Structure 1
Amino acid sequence: MKEQHQLPRHSDGVNLTLPELLQYKNQAIRWLPPATSIWSQLNGQHRSNAKGRGMNFAEVRLYQAGDDIRAIDWRVTARTGKPHTKLFSEEREQPVMLLIDISQSMQFGSKLLLKSVQAAHFASLLSWIAVSEKDRIGAVIHNGHSLRDTRPTSRQQGPLNVINTLLTSHREIHNRNKTTQAEKTFSDALSHLHYLCPKGSDIAVISDFHSMREQDKQRLSQLRQHNRIQFVQISDPLEQGVTDYRGTEHVRDSRQSAWIDFSSAKTREKLSHHHMQHQEFIRDMARSLAIPLHHISAAIPLLQQLVSANSQNGGQV
């Protein structure tokens, strides 16, 4: 018998609420470097390879009693004949930018959560981690009909801005028939991110990447020139042909709807084949751009995946 997972607190798996995203504030401390990091945990590693906050050189001045002798500038000391010491200042806060895809292909879930809901959960956790590390957090949110953004902001206001914008953008999907807005593409979202993103940012792209195209490689390459990028793929087991259901069900995506016979092995094999083709495209794109690719399932609560990531290879189903 397969393990059954309970919904996260305050969540119904379909809608987004403020309490279910606020709960990650108290979880951020569990993944703060140097003990570990969210990325090393997703990779199933015990140690973090994340670069810690460092110190920038500020100036040289005459040595004073109590200065650390390890900071003595021996070159200046030899040239002047008087001991001088180097002064350092802590690195400035790092901008962290999220591209959160909650478009039509993300409005799907066969077991526990919609992929868009799981993406929002992970975005909330990343936001609280960022400000716990004294960084600024901002986001671009793509729901297929509009692009909403929050500029990088520090302290508690940063995550709250991201969460409130996520809630608004997620609600907008259900009211899409009442709007006349032109459709926004994944490429549009990347372009907006490129416009908004400060140089030297850490970027996390959270999506199922079903809307990513080969032509997006150029924009991603431009972003990567001055920033560090991570891909976070949200998936559902049914996309891989994995299901216990053996009946016929009416399903739909953003383009079409159909009756599918899940009792047919051929149907499940076709789903699996399509998934493998999609995975090959994403892996090739990530590999060619040297962008790390991480995996999160919408069928398992986020925190449960992260805690057991070392044994589950990033929580893939």
Structure 2
Amino acid sequence: MSEPAQLPPPPIVPAATVRRLSLKVTRRLDGLLQGDHLGFLPGPGTEAADARSYQAGDDVRRIDWAITARTGETHIRTTIAERELETTLVLDLSTSMSFGTATAEKRDVGIAVAAAFLHMAKGPGDRVGALLVGNDGIRALPPRAGSAGAYATLSAMLRQPRETGPSGDRLAAALRAAGARQRRRGLVVVVSDLLEPVEQWERPLRTVAARHDVVVVQVVDRRERELPAVGVLRLVDPDTGREVDVRTNAKTRERYAEAAAARAEAQRAAVRSAGADHVEVRTEDDWLPQLARYLTRRRRTRAVVPAGRA
């Protein structure tokens, strides 16, 4: 019996390719969002500053009991609003992301979305790291600062091989790793198609969202939502390699669409119940306006500071 064919090693990505993608994303993002930054907005913050005497209207939860006991006068501890941000990108590049029936594969869209977050999270003092999810495991990229750091991280993403074999369940492990590596409150951005069973990644996502600001960008393809009317169609599970022939009559297409809609709703509900933001990006549409709509909503929502806490 002949040995199975071996895939060639991943190509070395030319620096010019990385620069082109980075420049394209930067220009389009700045033109649409005016260089929005993802740092925490002004507010009470969590970094301790000075203590001062209590005044009517102050948040009683900020009373510094040690100073109050020592001085005999009620004091509160002021805080500094957080300006620096540490971001962890969890980028799913497993086999199911190497799929697309429109203008791009989910993998391509996912890397472009990650590049956008890299661009927006490189303000002064900010650092961005990444966890790349592949069939063989998780590749950790250390947090880096500035344009040089973003460039290096993007280059590593583009060098990841395009997966084609069974991948197993890696997203849950990547979420646990994200929570373990980022001690200080920060931002975790998950870019994935979420095709692993919900019950496997929902609890780790909830754990991460309890400590960090979490955004889940779900990349989907239209053929995951609907079947074309093409007679008999052979479908392949990208994660297991299992094949099945399906007759794409009207009844089958309707049942498929219903099942896909139910799965999508379960995924959205799981993300939101975990306390994370959910953004859907489709391969058949331009990814940037889809992402921009979310970022605009995020900015408007977070610009509202509760009374008495500014």
Scaled by the length of structure 2, the TM-score of the pair is 0.68
CA–CA separation in structure 2 for the residues paired with 1:183 and 1:306: 28
**Would you say the 8 A contact 2:129–2:153 is kept in 1?**
yes
CA–CA separation in structure 2 for the residues paired with 1:240 and 1:289: 24
Paired residue total: 250
Indicate the residue corresponding to 1:144 in structure 2.
135
Q: Does residue 109 of structure 1 match 2:95?
A: no
Q: Map 1:262-277 onto structure 2 (within 5 A).
A: 262=248, 264-277=249-262
**Would you say the 8 A contact 2:124–2:146 is kept in 1?**
no
Q: Does residue 157 of structure 1 match 2:148?
A: yes
Unaligned 5+ segments in structure 1 are 1-16, 39-49, 61-86
1:70-101 deviations in Å (ceiling 9; x for gaps): xxxxxxxxxxxxxxxxx997745210111111
1:233-255 deviations in Å (ceiling 9; x for gaps): 11111111164x53544442222
Report the alpha carbon displacement of residue 280 of structure 1 after superposing the two structures with TM: 2.6
**Would you say the 8 A contact 2:87–2:128 is kept in 1?**
yes
Inter-CA distance 25–133: structure 2 relative to 1 (3 Å threshold)? farther
Indicate the residue corresponding to 1:173 in structure 2.
163
Report the alpha carbon displacement of residue 30 of structure 1 after superposing the two structures with TM: 4.1
CA–CA separation in structure 2 for the residues paired with 1:19 and 1:109: 24
SS at match of 1:96: strand
**Would you say the 8 A contact 1:200–1:227 is kept in 2?**
yes
Report the alpha carbon displacement of residue 297 of structure 1 after superposing the two structures with TM: 0.3
Indicate the residue corresponding to 2:30 in structure 1.
29
2:186 aligned partner, one-letter code? S
Q: Map 1:97-246 onto structure 2 (within 5 A).
A: 97-132=88-123, 135-169=126-160, 171=161, 173=163, 185-241=170-226, 243=228, 246=230
Indicate the residue corresponding to 1:257 in structure 2.
243
CA–CA separation in structure 1 for the residues paired with 2:84 and 2:36: 19
1:52 aligns with one of 27, 41, 46: 41
Inter-CA distance 113–163: structure 2 relative to 1 (3 Å threshold)? same
2:133 aligned partner, one-letter code? H
CA–CA separation in structure 2 for the residues paired with 1:300 and 1:267: 26
1:167 aligned partner, one-letter code? L
CA–CA separation in structure 1 for the residues paired with 2:118 and 2:179: 19
Q: Does residue 295 of structure 1 match 2:280?
A: yes
Unaligned 5+ segments in structure 2 are 1-16, 52-77, 298-310
CA–CA separation in structure 2 for the residues paired with 1:129 and 1:31: 12
**Would you say the 8 A contact 1:113–1:298 is kept in 2?**
yes
**Would you say the 8 A contact 2:18–2:151 is kept in 1?**
no
Question: More displaced, 125-134 or 294-303?
Answer: 125-134
**Would you say the 8 A contact 1:151–1:196 is kept in 2?**
no
Root-mean-square deviation (Å): 3.5
Report the alpha carbon displacement of residue 222 of structure 1 after superposing the two structures with TM: 2.1
1:258 aligned partner, one-letter code? V
Question: Identity of paired residues, percent?
Answer: 21
Inter-CA distance 306–280: structure 2 relative to 1 (3 Å threshold)? closer
Report the alpha carbon displacement of residue 217 of structure 1 after superposing the two structures with TM: 3.1
Inter-CA distance 281–295: structure 2 relative to 1 (3 Å threshold)? same
2:230 aligned partner, one-letter code? R
CA–CA separation in structure 1 for the residues paired with 2:155 and 2:125: 21
CA–CA separation in structure 2 for the residues paired with 1:104 and 1:191: 21
Inter-CA distance 158–303: structure 2 relative to 1 (3 Å threshold)? same
Q: Map 1:275-290 onto structure 2 (within 5 A).
A: 275-290=260-275
Scaled by the length of structure 1, the TM-score of the pair is 0.67
SS at match of 2:184: coil
Inter-CA distance 207–59: structure 2 relative to 1 (3 Å threshold)? same
Inter-CA distance 59–288: structure 2 relative to 1 (3 Å threshold)? closer
